[in-house]
Copies of this chain bind each other. A is one copy, B any other.
Amino acid sequence: MVRRSGRRPGNQDTKQSILEAARQVFAERGFDKASIRAIAGDAGVDPALVHHYFGTKEKLFLASMNSPVDPSELLPAALSGPREEAGLRLVRLVLGIWDSPAGAAAVALMRSAMSNEWTARLLREFVVTQVLRRAVAELGIDEKEAPLRSALMATQIAGLAVVRYILKVEPVASADAEQLVAAVGPSVQRYLTDDLPGVF
């Protein structure tokens, strides 16, 4: 075996192995079916060590994606309050994150997901299990309608991010955030809670 120069076994290598195994397992099995045990097995470490370094499965998932934010910390405030304004609050939250220093990491993640099937799977799992599932539960959306409603919401929010931050189509690219909240919020609200004739 060739010892790689300049690197020694240690915490950083172990953490890196766990993160690589986590990306692989989360992408292959999806978030729900991935287990800390399987990830530890792939990384060749004890499951207790995974918990020690990363805490919960959610935290490990966020770390493996280099997520700049933790939706479990940010979503509750956006989701509480009048139900008929949840769309506005969600768009405001998303723009707040992307317009902040964390936005650069979000752009990098989105770009990578566009060109790499594995990152696309991870991003899909992230959006579905960490964002949409919480939104649907908190807003009390009909269980049968929830998957389509939340994926429709994702079309509008992903598109806003792509056009504003990646393709940079004006005037959306440099519009004031509150103008976009007023413009796009009602479309998100429609997907969340309005009647959708011809759909359901």
Contact = CB atoms under 8 A, between A and B. Distances in A.
B199 A127 contact: no
A159 to B, nearest CB: 2
A162 B114 contact: yes
Interface in A171-200: 171-172, 175, 178-179, 181-184, 186-187, 190-191, 196-199
Contact of A156 (B127, B155, B175, B196): B155
Contacts of A179: 198-199
**DSSP majority for the A interface?**
helix
Contact of A147 (B114, B171, B183, B191): B171
Contact of A183 (B120, B148, B172): B148
* Chain copies in the assembled complex: 2
Contacts of A175: 148
B172 A162 contact: no
B166 A155 contact: no
A139 interface: no
A163 interface: yes
B124 A152 contact: no
A166 B120 contact: yes
Interface in A44-71: none
A148 B163 contact: no
A92 to B, nearest CB: 12
Nearest to A123: B167
Contacts of A34: none
Interface in A17-36: none
A110 interface: yes
Nearest to A186: B190
8 contacts: A111-B114, A115-B115, A127-B169, A155-B156, A155-B162, A182-B197, A183-B198, A187-B191
